[in-house]
């Protein structure tokens, strides 16, 4: 039986790795379930107000490893010739021992390029807040190896057990009826991260670059004009400092049902996870569940990762766009 003290001793290296290492963002498997987090240029692009909720439980076999929740809201604003967006991301590690809260406010400008194409450019201003519960940390000198008593530690806590900083990002999106592509740059100023007030112990939050491309391909039955289902191949490339991630997959949409699979790897073709996804969409809401089967060295010992998302549209959606998950099924003739 693993005691509470042993549990925190297991997670102590994880906490200090996060503490002293260069920062890296939370990574979702369902990228487009939280579009504002992927690229702020998605704000207002759908043409109707929408709410996105997301929950991610990473590595089920490791209790309290990573639990992430997100909430976002965006809407078009015709008077501004664009859209506005707001998103929140809360990440907790080791049963809440280390917590992070990210907020972002977005303005996006929309304009047409020809009859079939639209462009969105966005700016985002946000704030990150980090907190550690020092009293719950268990160090080696806290435990008497002979009597099991809890002893005071010689470790010196930081002056502040919480700190925060402003953050800025930008994004660009091109989209039409069959294709969308975007580029986002997060953490433009590469803000300093430190639990201490001196700059010697601080690290920079690396700038993150995201390139994403997707398309919608209507599939027709042989000899028929009536569409049978949609296929949507997608690619997402991420780079943040030395960390590089390559995600690619295929989704199929049939009468409101969505299913597909993704692969996540680095650019050296070291595979990290195989992601399976299923979902269903009605006229104004969409539910999606995905499971990450770990392919890296951690393997089956991780227990995999589950992610659930729920999206709501506050008005009927009538635009004919390529975005995944936001296109309820219709019987299009000759499309």
pLDDT of residue 10: 41
pLDDT mean over 156-166: 81
Kindly compute the dihedral angle of the four CA atoms of residues 287, 123, 22, 213, in this order, to the nearest 10 degrees: 50
Q: Which of 193-207, 234-248, 264-278 has the lowest mean pLDDT?
A: 193-207
Is the confidence at residue 90, as pLDDT, over 80? Answer: yes
Q: What is the largest CA-CA distance in the chain?
A: 80
Tokens of residue 225, six digits: 């004009």
pLDDT of residue 23: 55
Share of the chain above pLDDT 70, in %: 77
Q: How far is CA 156 from the centre of its chain?
A: 34
Q: How far apart are CA 32 and CA 37, in angstroms?
A: 9
pLDDT of residue 21: 41
Nearest to 287 by CA among 258, 247, 315, 316: 258
Burial class (CB within 10 angstroms; exposed 0-12, middle 13-18, buried 19+) of 220: middle
Nearest to 134 by CA among 16, 10, 4, 2: 16
Is the confidence at residue 325, as pLDDT, over 60? Answer: no
Measured at the CA of 19, the angle between CA 293 and CA 89, to 5 degrees, comes to 60
Write out pLDDT tens, residues 106-122.
999 999 998 889 999 99
pLDDT of residue 255: 80
Q: Which of 6-10, 68-72, 288-292 has the lowest mean pLDDT?
A: 6-10
Locus of tokens 């009538």: 318
Would you place residue 16 in the very low, low, confident or very high pLDDT band (cuts 50, 70, 90)? Answer: very low
Q: Which of 48-52, 57-61, 296-300 has the lowest mean pLDDT?
A: 296-300
Q: Which of the residue ranges 44-48, 59-63, 118-122, 268-272 has the most confident prediction, judged by mean pLDDT? A: 118-122
Q: Which of 40-54, 69-83, 257-271, 319-333 has the lowest mean pLDDT?
A: 319-333
pLDDT of residue 324: 62
- Residue with the larger pLDDT of the pair 193 and 277: 277
Would you place residue 161 in the very low, low, confident or very high pLDDT band (cuts 50, 70, 90)? Answer: confident
pLDDT of residue 248: 94
pTM of the predicted protein model: 0.84
In order of their start, the domains of the chain are 4-313 (2.40.160.40)
Adjacent-strand bridge partners of 111: 119
pLDDT of residue 193: 85
Write out pLDDT tens, residues 124-150.
999 999 998 877 777 766 676 666 666
Measured at the CA of 105, the angle between CA 319 and CA 160, to 5 degrees, comes to 150
Q: How far is CA 199 from the centre of its chain?
A: 29
């Amino acid at each position: 039986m693993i005691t509470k003290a042993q549990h925190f001793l297991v997670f102590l290296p994880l906490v200090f790795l996060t503490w002293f290492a260069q920062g890296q963002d939370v990574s979702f498997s369902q990228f487009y379930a939280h579009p504002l987090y992927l690229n702020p240029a998605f704000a207002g692009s759908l043409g109707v107000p929408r709410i996105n909720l997301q929950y991610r439980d990473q590595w089920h076999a490791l209790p309290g490893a990573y639990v992430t929740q997100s909430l976002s809201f965006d809407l078009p604003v015709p008077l501004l010739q664009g859209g506005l967006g707001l998103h929140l991301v809360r990440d907790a590690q080791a049963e809440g021992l280390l917590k992070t809260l990210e907020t972002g406010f977005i303005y996006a400008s929309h304009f047409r390029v020809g009859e079939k194409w639209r462009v969105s450019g966005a700016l985002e201003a946000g704030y990150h807040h980090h907190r550690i519960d020092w009293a719950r940390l268990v160090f080696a000198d806290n435990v008497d190896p002979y009597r099991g008593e809890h002893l005071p530690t010689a470790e010196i806590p930081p002056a502040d057990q919480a700190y925060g900083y402003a953050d800025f990002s930008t994004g660009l999106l091109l989209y039409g009826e069959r294709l969308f592509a975007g580029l986002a740059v997060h953490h433009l100023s590469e803000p300093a991260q430190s639990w201490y007030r001196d700059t010697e112990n601080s690290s920079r939050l690396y700038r993150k670059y995201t390139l994403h491309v997707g398309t919608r391909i209507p599939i027709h039955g042989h000899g028929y004009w009536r569409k049978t289902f949609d296929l949507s191949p997608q690619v997402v490339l991420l780079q943040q400092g030395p960390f590089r991630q390559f995600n690619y997959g295929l989704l199929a949409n049939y009468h409101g049902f969505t299913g597909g699979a993704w692969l996540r790897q680095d650019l050296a073709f070291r595979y990290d996870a195989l992601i399976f996804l299923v979902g269903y969409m009605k006229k104004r809401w969409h539910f999606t569940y995905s499971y990450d089967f770990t392919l890296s060295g951690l393997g089956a010992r991780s227990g995999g990762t589950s992610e659930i998302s729920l999206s709501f549209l506050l008005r009927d959606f009538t635009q004919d766009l390529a975005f995944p998950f936001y296109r309820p099924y219709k019987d299009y003739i000759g499309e």
